[in-house]
């Protein structure tokens, strides 16, 4: 008792939108939305996760650098700079600071390095 429309994409007889075909019994939702909700969920969680990861990474980095420069109270300032120059560039500068012997100059070096060489590293910025 297979209906002519069974297993096909079109040609069903739905009494109401989202209802079941009068001929073969397939539901319209099932037909049109195959694997769709799952896919949507997947892309949603995929797009959310990295963003959150980047944010916490930037925060952690700002904390590290501000403490390393003995300016933990200026956390927000460092955070702003890191957001502007990008995480990769900030890591770069951080490793350069680490080679500095005097604590005093660390903050200065960070401020200095975060100002120049901007255009070259803009492409590394994960934000847009």
Task: Specify the stretch interacting with Zn ion by CB under 5 A; choose among 9-17, 50-58, 63-71, 72-80.
Answer: 9-17
Give the angle 86-88-121 at the CA atoms, nearest 5°. Answer: 65
For the chain, helix (H) and strand (E) counts, in that order, are 6, 0
Task: Specify the stretch interacting with Zn ion by CB under 5 A; choose among 8-16, 44-52, 53-61, 85-93.
Answer: 8-16
What is the rounded distance in angstroms from the CA atom of residue 67 to the CA atom of residue 74? 9
Residues 14-33 close enough to bind Zn ion by CB under 5 A:
21, 23-24
Residues 62-91 close enough to bind Zn ion by CB under 5 A:
none
Tell the smallest beta-carbon distance from residue 21 to Zn ion (Å).
Answer: 3
At 125, list the tokens: 């910025």
Tell the smallest beta-carbon distance from residue 3 to Zn ion (Å).
Answer: 5
- 71-to-63, 95, 109 alpha-carbon distances in Å: 9, 17, 13
Which of 1, 9, 10, 12 touches Zn ion (CB under 5 A)? 12
């Amino acid at each position: 008792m297979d209906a002519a429309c069974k297993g096909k994409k079109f040609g069903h007889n739905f009494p109401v939108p989202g209802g079941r075909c009068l001929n073969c019994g397939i539901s319209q939702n099932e037909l049109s939305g195959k694997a769709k909700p799952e896919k949507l969920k997947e892309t949603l969680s995929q797009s959310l996760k990295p963003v959150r990861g980047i944010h916490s990474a930037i925060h952690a980095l700002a904390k590290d650098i501000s403490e390393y420069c003995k300016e933990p109270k200026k956390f927000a300032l460092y955070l702003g700079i890191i957001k502007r120059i990008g995480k990769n560039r900030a890591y770069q500068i951080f490793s350069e600071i680490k080679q500095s012997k005097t604590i005093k100059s660390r903050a200065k070096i960070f401020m200095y390095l975060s100002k120049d060489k901007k255009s070259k590293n803009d492409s590394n910025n994960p934000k847009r």
